[in-house]
Structures are given as C-alpha cells and as structure tokens.
C-alpha cells in the first residue's frame, strides 16, 4: 500500500515549489501513484480507466512489462550521452523506425521532446530551402520554444514571442471552419498566403493531421494533398507533426498523414514513441538530412541508449500486441457508441476522430455551436468519480479528448461511454 504524502500535502508543495503555470485536472486533483496497462491507481488503491494516457505518451499501456524490461536492462548496462561513442541501441532503433516510414524517409535525428523535434524540423526546412517563411495552421500546437511557439497558433499557448516568418493558414476544421468539409477550398488559403504574404518561395508547411491540443480536429478531406502541392511549387518542404496522432493511434494507419494520402518530406514524432520515456525524433530523406553536415547538431541526450531501447521495445509491442488493429476495432466501436449519445443529448455538438484519438464537443446550442465549457469540466469531474479519466481540449476547453492507451478493451470502451451517458443523464 501507498505510504507517501497525501494529495493535499503534495498539492501544497506544488503550490509552493512548482511553477504557478502548472494546472491539474479536477476540483480535487488525483494523486496517481501507479499505472498498469490501461489503468491508473490513486493513493487509496482506487482504480481508474485511463481514457487520456495517449496525451501523456502511453501507447502500449502503463508500465508495459516489455518496455520496462528494455529500460531496466539498458539502464543496467550503460546510460550515457548519445554522442561521442557507438552504441547498438540508437542504431537498432533508427533502423526499425525508418522501416515504418514510406518512401525514402529513412534518416533519423533523435531529440528529447516534440518541441525539440519540431524546432529541428523547421531549421532543416529553412536550411534546405534557403527560405524563411513557414506556414502552419490556426489552432495548431507544435511546441513551446522560440520557433515552435510561433508555429503554435492559439493565444492560450503563446507568450510575447517573436513570431519570425510564420504565417497561419485557415484551419480546415469541418465543424467550425468557414468552408465546412471542403479541404480544397481551405488549401487555397495556403496558396494565398504564399502569393500575398511571402516573396513566393517558402521554407515549408507544418501541420498535424488530427489536431490534438486544438480539440481532436481532423483536417477536412483533400486538404493536405492540395496544400502540399502549393508548398512544393513554392520550393518548400512539407512537415507532418505526428507527435500525438502517430504510432498506430488512428488505427487505420500507422501514421495519421497516411489517411490524407500524402508523403511528407519531414516527419516529427514524440510522446508514444517511448511509451512515457522522454524521446522525440525527426525523420527525413538522405538528401534533406545532408544540410545538417554544415555544422554540428548537438543534443546531449537525444537518442540516448535507455530511451532508444525503450523505443525499440515500443515498436515490437505495437506489433506483438496488435495495437494498431485494436485501435481500429475498439476505436470504431467507441466512436459509434459516442455518436449514438448524440441522439440522446442535445449538448453533444460533434463526435469526431479516428481510431483511439476521439473528440466529443459540448455546445449549449447546436445551431450556434456555443461552447459548453463549464459543463465539460463538470462531466469530467463526475466521470472521474465513477472511475473514468478523460481529457479536454480545444480553444474553448469544451471538447473531451479521448486518447486511451492502445491496449484498451471493448469492455473498457463500454464502461467509458456508460459513465459519460450516466453523467449526462443527471444534468
């Protein structure tokens, strides 16, 4: 049994010693002390179904035994900086990761986070093209360092950053966007930005294929092929940010960009890549990777032996435990059940997403799409009391984000929906 400090004591320490910008979920924050696969346990031993572990990087399941074994084994052998010496872990994982990507996307740079991966991707695009302008989407989240905070496009996540060379295109958001589900119309805005906001040449374009932080927004069909075509005509590189939606989460594909039928020039990833271990990566082609021979790109821990040993174990578990198939089967069932709640509850304005990356948007008026933000918090709190944790997101904080570990079962999915159904029925 747990014998550490109480939740109240931890909260007090956090308020005194940690950043005031850190927020916890729930009126009464949870003290999570253990995790096992799709479940989390609090300090009283109570079990919760983790419907939001995906955000916190867990793809295979909390403390998956194979991943833990790989980490422990490598920690016992050697943990060191990535640079200076050879080590098998980084090379083996780079090879395995490259084999998961299409075309000649087979040169890997490792980082410690998604932010670092996107910073590096933006730098590579700028070096390769000799241009500076980068187009990203409104409502995107790409990171919180100098360049990526510029590419991130939501006031919630920006300080007074100098947004050098970034242009934000209309978001191809089928629910709230001005052109509905017409991807090509939104893509015309990318061409307009190139024509009217730049010298005609750009360094690149960066986007998620399903926006995570932004509230599980699937890009309107046909958007990426058309946007990529404009970018490439302007000499730019296309960067796919797979930090949240990659690694089998969308079920139908291993990478989320694949559902739009495109092949990017650079792919960035993090979170699920290490099942909870800090790791990120940029994958590109040999020709593009060449630009980093001009200087040293130095990253003390990016791709260190322990993290890359974990990464290799994750790829093996996704295969062995058939997690992509599970994300597809259980995710489709979960989405169908959530969608059927729309018939019962006016407050559900939209249900969307793919595989185990699903969103449920709450609105107080379906026609006006008025965000029901307070109700969203209330439902999350009530579901927690029933033993189900889900996340939230979107600019207005009115979208449930349901991104469980990929090992969730159909029974778990039913339990999650029943808890939501019960809560909504009491409102």
CB burial readout 209-218, b (16+ within 10 A) else e = bbbbbbbbbb
Select the residue whose beta carbon is closest to ligand PMP and give its number: 114
How many C-beta atoms lie closer than 10 Å to residue 408's C-beta? 28
What is the spatial distance between Cα 141 and Cα 144, in angstroms, rounded to a whole number? 9
Q: Measured from the CB atom, is 126 or 249 closer to ligand PMP?
A: 249
Q: Measured from the CB atom, is 270 or 323 closer to ligand PMP?
A: 270
Interacting residues of 420 by C-beta distance below 8 A, sequence separation 6+: 338, 341, 360, 379, 383, 388, 390, 400
What is the spatial distance between Cα 251 and Cα 199, in angstroms, rounded to a whole number? 40
Q: Which of 74, 171, 230, 244 binds ligand PMP (CB under 6 A)?
A: 244
What is the spatial distance between Cα 162 and Cα 149, in angstroms, rounded to a whole number? 9
Q: Specify the stretch interacting with ligand PMP by CB under 6 A; choose among 226-234, 240-248, 355-363, 397-405.
A: 240-248
Residue 183 to residues 104, 113, 177, 180, 342, Cα–Cα distance (Å): 27, 30, 10, 8, 25
Q: Is 13 helix (H, G, I), strand (E, B) or coil?
A: helix
Q: Which of 119, 133, 208, 218 binds ligand PMP (CB under 6 A)?
A: 208
Q: Measured from the CB atom, is 142 or 352 closer to ligand PMP?
A: 142
Q: Measured from the CB atom, is 118 or 326 closer to ligand PMP?
A: 118
Q: Which of 89, 101, 166, 243 binds ligand PMP (CB under 6 A)?
A: 243
Interacting residues of 165 by C-beta distance below 8 A, sequence separation 6+: 132, 133, 134, 150, 203
Q: Is 345 left (phi over 0), alpha (psi -120 to 50) or beta?
A: beta
Q: Measured from the CB atom, is 116 or 265 closer to ligand PMP?
A: 116
Q: How far is CA 175 from the centre of its chain?
A: 20
What is the spatial distance between Cα 303 and Cα 317, in angstroms, rounded to a whole number? 19
Q: Measured from the CB atom, is 372 or 389 closer to ligand PMP?
A: 389
Q: Which of 62, 100, 126, 142 binds ligand PMP (CB under 6 A)?
A: 142
Output the smallest distance, CB 250 to ligand PMP, in A.
13
What is the spatial distance between Cα 317 and Cα 320, in angstroms, rounded to a whole number? 5
Q: Specify the stretch interacting with ligand PMP by CB under 6 A; choose among 9-17, 139-147, 170-178, 295-303.
A: 139-147
- Counting contacts by CB under 6 A, is residue 111 touching ligand PMP? no
Q: Which of 241, 265, 361, 412 binds ligand PMP (CB under 6 A)?
A: 241
Output the smallest distance, CB 359 to ligand PMP, in A.
14
- Counting contacts by CB under 6 A, is residue 115 touching ligand PMP? yes
Output the smallest distance, CB 222 to ligand PMP, in A.
21
Q: Which of 41, 110, 128, 141 binds ligand PMP (CB under 6 A)?
A: 141
Binding site for ligand PMP (CB under 6 A): 113-115, 118, 141-143, 208, 212-213, 241, 243-244, 270
């Amino acid at each position: 049994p747990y014998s550490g400090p109480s939740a109240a004591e931890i909260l007090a320490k956090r308020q005194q010693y940690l950043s005031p910008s850190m927020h916890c979920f729930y009126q009464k924050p949870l003290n999570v002390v253990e995790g096992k696969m799709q479940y989390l346990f609090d300090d009283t031993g109570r079990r919760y179904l983790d419907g939001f572990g995906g955000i916190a990087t867990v793809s295979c399941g909390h403390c998956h035994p194979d991943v833990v074994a790989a980490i422990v084994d490598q920690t016992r052998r050697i943990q060191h900086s990535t640079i200076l010496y050879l080590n098998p872990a980084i090379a083996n994982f780079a090879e395995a990761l490259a084999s998961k990507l299409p075309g000649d996307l087979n040169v890997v740079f490792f980082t410690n986070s998604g932010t670092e991966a996107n910073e590096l991707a933006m730098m590579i695009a700028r070096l390769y093209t000799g241009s500076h302008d980068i187009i990203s989407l409104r409502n995107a989240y790409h990171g919180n360092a100098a360049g990526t905070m510029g590419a991130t496009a939501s006031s919630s996540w920006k300080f007074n950053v100098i947004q050098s060379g970034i242009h934000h295109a209309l978001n191809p958001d089928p629910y709230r966007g001005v052109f509905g589900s017409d991807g090509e119309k939104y893509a015309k805005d990318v061409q307009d930005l190139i024509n009217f906001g730049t010298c005609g040449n750009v360094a690149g374009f960066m986007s998620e294929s399903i926006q995570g932080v932004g509230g599980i927004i699937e890009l309107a069909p046909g958007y990426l092929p058309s946007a990529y075509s404009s970018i490439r005509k302007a000499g730019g590189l296309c960067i796919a940010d797979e930090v949240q939606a990659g690694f089998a989460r969308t079920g139908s594909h291993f990478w989320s960009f694949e559902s739009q039928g495109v092949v990017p020039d650079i792919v960035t990833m993090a979170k699920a890549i290490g099942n909870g271990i800090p790791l990120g990566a940029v994958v590109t082609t040999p020709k593009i990777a060449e630009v980093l021979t001009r200087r040293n790109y130095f990253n003390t821990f990016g791709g260190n032996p322990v993290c890359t040993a974990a990464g290799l174990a994750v790829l093996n578990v996704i295969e062995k435990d058939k997690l992509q198939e599970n994300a597809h089967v259980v995710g489709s069932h979960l989405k169908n059940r959530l969608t059927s709640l729309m018939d019962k509850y006016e407050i559900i304005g939209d249900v969307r997403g793919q595989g185990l990356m699903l969103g449920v948007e709450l609105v107080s008026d379906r026609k006006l799409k008025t965000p029901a933000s307070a109700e969203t918090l209330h439902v999350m709190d009530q579901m927690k009391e029933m033993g189900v944790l889900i996340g939230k997101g979107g600019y207005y904080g009115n979208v449930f984000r349901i991104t469980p570990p990929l090992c969730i079962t159909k029974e778990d999915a039913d339990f999650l929906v029943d808890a939501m159904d019960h809560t909504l029925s009491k409102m």
